[in-house]
A = this chain, B = another copy of it.
């Protein structure tokens, strides 16, 4: 497997576009299209929030019941969440509009929205945007990048990736884009993410691979502990790579899962590091845990702790906060049996050993914590299980961005 340039248009048969539709703001790309020239198998994971945005309900139905999907239309600016029947009508209007332009059934059109909750979509501007998208779609890397830029909200960088890998004797490609910076605490999946691939894989195996993967990737990141109403992760597989259909576990399925995992890990880290106001990617790694589930709980508790996040922002080796966060996670352990380390490209330091602070250099600890990627490593000395979670620091800018997000 190797990383190649490009994003959602990298795989055979995929086109994309990003255009200005003035959904909420002027002079920025705010609508995106991903389109496959042939029908795709589709799998998806969605928010676990009881309050689900209209597009989540629309897509869930398509993933569960449509024989195939062929296009995704996305807007930023307005989330189409908490919008009642009118919100569902908007999803249908979008799918009808795009479907008639592209000559595909509305049941093959997925929709996604991100932005302010509670406002209705400006459906006339949305429809005008869809017409622009249908006219602009191309299979070039630039078209993929335009789409990735159009789905951004408070993101500071667009997020896309593509890889090439061997499967069933042929060369296949998987590409992806995602957005996510605030209201990021996926529980089941996260944010908006779109993965395209030309691999030939059954719908069952596609969903299985996706569901298994998110547990250790998108579900292990958090920016602010707020699980969005709109979290959506979709994979479209159009089969144009020409491999024999993957219908069961085996070397081909593993190759597919490996590519998927590479892409989702990359995007999950990218999203955490670009958390609202973040100055640093904050990684918590737990080893020696009693079980995989406990390792995940412990790691996630650390990256979710406001006080730990503020300490990382301040480059402050206030290790008690990390221990405290491990302690209230819900996992059982003996504090007298824990080792804690800080790691970054600037070095590694042993900070706490089985019940008491180590004799460490504050200066060295501060240097390690001043890196743009910092890892807190906890060894629980209970078993063999490991997990990694990704978050970011808590900065003044997080407050600034969110105190007047709507203005």
CB distance from A26 to the nearest CB of B (A): 20
Q: Is A314 part of the binding interface, using a Cβ–Cβ cutoff of 8 Å? A: yes
- Residues in B whose Cβ lies below 8 Å from that of A182: 307
Interface locus among A126-134, A168-176, A212-220, A351-359: A351-359
Q: Is A331 part of the binding interface, using a Cβ–Cβ cutoff of 8 Å? A: yes
Q: Which of A286-318 contact B (CB under 8 A)?
A: 304-307, 310-311, 313-314, 316, 318
Q: Is A395 part of the binding interface, using a Cβ–Cβ cutoff of 8 Å? A: yes
Q: Is A236 part of the binding interface, using a Cβ–Cβ cutoff of 8 Å? A: no
Q: Is A320 part of the binding interface, using a Cβ–Cβ cutoff of 8 Å? A: yes
Give A225 to B327 CA distance when docked, in angstroms.
Answer: 13
Interface locus among A58-66, A159-167, A226-234: A226-234
- Contact partner, A313, options B82, B84, B399, Cβ 8 Å: B399
Q: B332 near A50 (CB under 8 angstroms)?
A: yes
Q: Which of A358-407 contact B (CB under 8 A)?
A: 394-396, 398-400, 402-407
- Residues in B whose Cβ lies below 8 Å from that of A304: 225
Q: Is A243 part of the binding interface, using a Cβ–Cβ cutoff of 8 Å? A: no
A335-B82, A399-B313 known; A323-B118 Cβ under 8 A: yes
CB distance from A28 to the nearest CB of B (A): 21
- Contact partner, A328, options B48, B79, B407, Cβ 8 Å: B48
Q: Is A326 part of the binding interface, using a Cβ–Cβ cutoff of 8 Å? A: yes
Q: B116 near A305 (CB under 8 angstroms)?
A: no
Q: Is A262 part of the binding interface, using a Cβ–Cβ cutoff of 8 Å? A: no
Give A336 to B50 CA distance when docked, in angstroms.
Answer: 11
- Residues in B whose Cβ lies below 8 Å from that of A229: 320, 323-324, 327
Q: B399 near A321 (CB under 8 angstroms)?
A: no
Question: Quick one: closest B residue to A395, CB to CB?
Answer: B399
CB distance from A24 to the nearest CB of B (A): 14
CB distance from A351 to the nearest CB of B (A): 9
CB distance from A301 to the nearest CB of B (A): 10
Q: Is A119 part of the binding interface, using a Cβ–Cβ cutoff of 8 Å? A: yes
CB distance from A210 to the nearest CB of B (A): 21
CB distance from A264 to the nearest CB of B (A): 21
| 3 smallest beta-carbon distances between A and B, as pairs | A117-B320, A314-B403, A51-B327
A interface residues, Cβ below 8 angstroms from B: 48-52, 79, 81-86, 116-119, 182-183, 185, 187, 224-229, 304-307, 310-311, 313-314, 316, 318-321, 323-329, 331-333, 335-336, 352, 354-357, 394-396, 398-400, 402-407
11 A-B pairs besides A50-B331, A187-B328, A226-B321 with CB distance below 8 A are: A50-B327, A50-B333, A52-B327, A84-B356, A116-B318, A117-B320, A117-B324, A225-B305, A306-B402, A313-B399, A314-B402
A/B interface sample: 20 pairs, CB < 8 A: A49-B327, A51-B324, A51-B327, A82-B356, A84-B354, A84-B356, A117-B318, A117-B321, A224-B306, A224-B307, A227-B328, A229-B320, A229-B323, A310-B399, A310-B403, A310-B405, A313-B403, A314-B403, A316-B405, A396-B400
